[in-house]
């Protein structure tokens, strides 16, 4: 078993008093920047880990945060959103407890019960994709921030991708490359009776239309297709766009999986990307975007940044009322070789 490092040893190595070390460990504001840096360096060098139980029993913070997901851990984004949250928590010497409910409400409530038993100071609730959610009842009274999701009444702070400007900048990138007829294979069907009100569907479409409008390009409804996201559907929509009397010279795809199927359909038609037609994706799923030839230009979903923002907002408002901010983070263009 590793020997337990004491505060006295940290003080000795940092050249400060034990009182100063204690203040740094408890985020006390009255410590000079120089002393704080020396203490933090000593903590890192000695690999000191504070006793969370002891801190809580002293009436201080537990040093724990909960991270509850509905199904994030099964997606390619899990590592980024959790890593962003964990990096901020760790920087504040806090530990992140992660639980994935798999979409099962019973598991979610059980996880919240465990979080409460561990006296977590706040919880981040994250969704697999950007959508409205209903929170477990057990979260009532616990400081909570939503990541990649929101409540319909907007009563809880949330952070999510800026879908509108994601669609706008994807379309703008094609326009800047000289394209004037830009197809868009969007997500799901354009029928609000059967299509969930997911911001990605309508936000990206509004961004696409606005980018065309700003460049005085006509919107052609025939260039927009809605896919249920099977490979067969994506393939079919690509071929239908290219069979038009005036086919597009660029295709904006609602996600990278659609773009992958789009590549296959274009190859069967004997078309080269980007020499004959440009393709832009959305999500920046690295194993797809980097694995395609040529590599896919796509929009980055800000999962790492959402995880960071959510935890930072919790930490910044410990012991204070949290305003229900609804924050939209940019989706930057990741330029590769397909435009």
Distance of CA 111 to the CA centre of its chain: 22
- Tell me the C-alpha to C-alpha distance, in Å, between residue 35 and each of 8, 14, 31, 275, 292: 15, 8, 7, 59, 50
Give the DSSP H or E segment for 238.
helix 231-242
CA gap 183, 248 in Å, rounded: 6
pLDDT of residue 57: 43
| Domain covering 163-300, topology | Rossmann fold (3.40.50)
What is the DSSP code string of 310-339?
HHHHHHHTTTSPPP--EEEE---EE--S--
Three-state DSSP string of 82-123: HHHHHHHHHHCCCEEEEEECCCCHHHHHHHHHHHHHCCCCCE
Distance between first and last Cα of the chain: 56
CA gap 153, 5 in Å, rounded: 48
Q: Where are the beta strands (DSSP E) in the chain?
A: 64-69, 95-100, 123-132, 144-150, 158-161, 182-187, 224-227, 250-253, 278-283, 297-300, 326-329, 333-334
pLDDT of residue 58: 47
- Strand partners for 150: 132
Walk along the chain (339 residues) and give the pLDDT tens digit of each residue: 456 677 778 889 999 987 788 778 766 667 888 888 898 898 888 887 665 545 554 445 788 999 998 876 566 767 899 999 999 999 998 999 999 888 888 888 888 888 888 889 999 999 988 999 999 888 888 899 999 999 999 999 999 999 999 999 999 999 999 999 999 999 876 555 555 668 999 999 999 999 999 999 999 999 999 998 899 999 999 999 999 999 999 999 999 999 999 999 999 999 999 999 999 999 999 999 999 999 999 999 999 999 999 999 999 998 788 899 999 999 999 999 999
Q: Which of 148, 141, 19 is nearest to 77 (CA)?
A: 148
CATH code for the structural domain at 64-161+303-330: 3.40.50.2300
CA gap 230, 139 in Å, rounded: 36
CATH fold match for the domains 7-49 and 64-161+303-330: no
Superfamily in which the 7-49 domain is placed by CATH:
lambda repressor-like DNA-binding domains (1.10.260.40)
pLDDT of residue 118: 83
Sorted by where each begins, the domain ranges of the chain are 7-49, 64-161+303-330, 163-300
Class of residue 57 by CB neighbours under 10 A (exposed 0-12, middle 13-18, buried 19+) = exposed
pTM: 0.79
- Read off the tokens for 226: 């809605």
pLDDT of residue 292: 97
pLDDT of residue 195: 55
pLDDT of residue 75: 67
What is the DSSP code string of 211-229?
HHHHTTPPP-GGGEEEE--
């Amino acid at each position: 078993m590793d020997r337990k490092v004491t505060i006295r040893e940290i003080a000795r190595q940092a050249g400060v008093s034990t009182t100063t070390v204690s203040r740094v460990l408890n985020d006390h504001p009255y410590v000079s920047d120089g002393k704080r840096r020396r203490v933090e360096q000593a903590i890192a060098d000695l690999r000191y880990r504070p006793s969370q139980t002891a801190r809580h029993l002293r009436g201080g913070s537990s040093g724990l945060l909960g991270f509850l997901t509905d199904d994030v851990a099964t997606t390619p984004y899990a590592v980024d959103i959790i890593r962003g949250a964990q990096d901020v928590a760790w920087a504040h010497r806090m530990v992140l407890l992660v639980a994935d409910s798999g979409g099962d409400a019973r598991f979610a409530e059980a996880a919240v019960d465990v979080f409460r038993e561990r006296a977590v100071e706040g919880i981040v609730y994250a969704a697999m994709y950007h959508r409205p959610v209903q929170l477990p009842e057990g979260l009532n009274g616990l400081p909570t921030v939503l990541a990649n999701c929101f409540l319909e009444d907007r009563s809880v702070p949330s952070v999510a991708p800026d879908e509108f400007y994601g669609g706008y900048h994807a379309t703008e990138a094609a326009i800047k490359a000289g394209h004037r007829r830009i197809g868009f294979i969007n997500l799901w069907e354009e029928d609000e009776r059967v299509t969930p009100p997911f911001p990605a569907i309508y936000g990206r479409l509004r961004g696409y239309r606005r980018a065309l409008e700003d460049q005085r390009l006509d919107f052609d409804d025939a260039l927009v297709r809605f896919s249920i996201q099977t490979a067969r559907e994506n393939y079919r929509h690509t071929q239908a766009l290219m069979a038009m009397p005036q086919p597009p010279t660029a295709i904006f795809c609602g996600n990278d999986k659609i773009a992958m199927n789009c590549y296959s359909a274009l190859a069967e038609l004997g078309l080269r990307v980007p020499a004959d037609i440009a393709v832009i994706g959305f999500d920046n799923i690295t194993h797809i975007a980097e694995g395609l030839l040529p590599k896919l230009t796509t929009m980055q979903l800000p999962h790492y940044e959402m995880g960071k923002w959510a935890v930072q907002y919790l930490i910044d408002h410990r012991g204070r009322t949290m305003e229900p901010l609804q924050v939209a983070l940019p989706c930057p263009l990741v330029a590769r070789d397909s435009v």
